[in-house]
Copies of this chain bind each other. A is one copy, B any other.
Amino acid sequence: MKKIYNIAVVGLGQVGIYLLNELNNKKKSIEIKTGTKINVVAISAKNIKKKRKFKINKRIFYSNPLDILKKHKVDILFEAIGLSDGISKKIVEKALKSKVHVITPNKALISKHGNYLAKLAEKNNVNLEFEASVAGGIPILRSIKEGLATNKISKIYGILNGTSNYILSEMENSNQKFNDVLIKAQKLGYAEPGNPKLDLNGFDAFAKVRILSALAFNSKISQHKCLMEGIEKIELKDIKIANQLDLRIKLLGITELKKNQLFESVHPCLVNKKSYIGNVNGVMNAVILEGKPVGESILQGEGAGPGPTSSSLLSDLLSILRGNIKKPFGIPFAQLKALKSYNINNYTNSLYLRFEVRDRPGVLSQITNRLAKYKISVKRLIQTPDKINKKATIVIITHKTSEINSKKCLSIFKNNKNILKFPTLIRLYN
């Protein structure tokens, strides 16, 4: 007789309900592909009555997910609540301790508690799978753990937040300001209606970067502070100027080993408009991996939404049903390295600096003198007058300089009557 796996789905928001429907529809195909049967024995959410896209079976509904493990012999639990702590952490912890496999798209949870939970899963000899936590439907984690398993990876970067990418693309296409496009994104369901902050300030992409680092470099998830900037300060003006310079602004997540030290960052980048990454637009995600011997590999796909997320959740399910017991980070927890953190002060880039200044004699030389003092050399300078308002915009593209140097150099412009706002800084992608 075929083995039957009992499944619980906790959290019935957009993702959870879509997943539940997929589980029901794909029973037969899952049986063919794995030789096992699945049976959804319990579901849980805050509100049984909430209007959902698909009907739920109320007889297997629990308002407290912790009750499920008491009442059922569950083999696999999907956590789709999405908190970094609280009930999300509690139910995952409880499940692993009860020798229940866990599958989750929860990047906040994994990037914060991944080390602890991976250890727990390993100790209890069950899987903790989180393919859907990074780049939606793109099978990037599985590719690092399996398809590219023996490569020495030196760097991974990409567009990891669909909301930010949509907003940047749409500002350029529609010529609209940040706030107007944000409202549009919320209406279309591309941005959280309540609080889209975690998408826009880089936090969401950063959580994904942390997970990618651990897999790519066989290391524990780092908790060091690093460079995290979102797109909130990007103005339509910057997008237009970038366009004139044949550049485009993208929010990139980057993780790399620099002198064997880990450098993780998320920040807006100016990339060549003709480059591959410069042409990944809208809600698309893309991940670029540099490894030896494989060379440069690119994976691109839809980075969010219940469909792509379910695709990844189900791939995790199949992996478990096929009996592929695997370490959450590909190798035994005890073998994971604790990498030192690269000093952010030494991070070096060409910079785009935009100054809004009063149109007075001597202002330009104040700026260029200051740059010269810090040995930041100018590659390109464009001054555009705004005669009516007696203002001017000065855009400078610099040669490479370090974070600490540019920070010190620019600090003086905080209190300068001729400089109307603190200069906008966007790094160029190397």
Contacts and interface: CB of A to CB of B under 8 A. Distances in A.
Contact of A143 (B143, B298, B307, B319): B143
Question: Chain A interface residue count: which class?
Answer: 35 or more
Given A32-B335, A294-B307, A324-B324, A147 B151 contact: no
A312 interface: yes
A290 B349 CA distance: 38
Nearest to A218: B32
A155 B302 CA distance: 17
Contact of A331 (B33, B137, B150): B33
Nearest to A324: B324
A157 B88 CA distance: 40
**3 residue pairs, one from A and one from B, having the closest CB atoms:** A139-B147, A293-B307, A137-B294
A178 B344 CA distance: 50
Given A35-B332, A146-B139, A149-B315, A296 B302 contact: yes
Interface of A: 18, 22, 26, 29-30, 32-33, 35, 131, 137-139, 142-143, 146-151, 218, 276, 279, 291-302, 306-308, 310-312, 314-315, 317-319, 322-324, 326, 330-332, 335
Contacts of A331: 32-33
A311 B26 contact: no
A326 B131 CA distance: 20
B307 A295 contact: yes
B324 A308 contact: no
A131 B143 CA distance: 12
Given A22-B150, A139-B143, A302-B296, A291 B318 contact: no
A137 B296 CA distance: 9
Contact of A311 (B29, B150, B312, B322): B150
Contacts of A314: 149-150
Nearest to A283: B295
A291 B295 CA distance: 27
A301 B294 contact: yes
Contacts of A149: 33, 314-315, 318
A298 B297 CA distance: 11
A323 B324 CA distance: 7
Given A22-B150, A150-B314, A297-B300, 13 more contacts: A29-B150, A30-B150, A32-B331, A33-B150, A137-B295, A146-B315, A147-B147, A276-B300, A293-B308, A293-B310, A294-B311, A296-B302, A299-B300
Contact of A142 (B29, B32, B147, B151): B147
Contact of A332 (B30, B32, B299, B332): B32
Nearest to A25: B150
A326 to B, nearest CB: 7
A376 B311 CA distance: 42
The residue in A301, A308, A323 that gathers the most chain B C-beta atoms within 10 A of its C-beta is A301
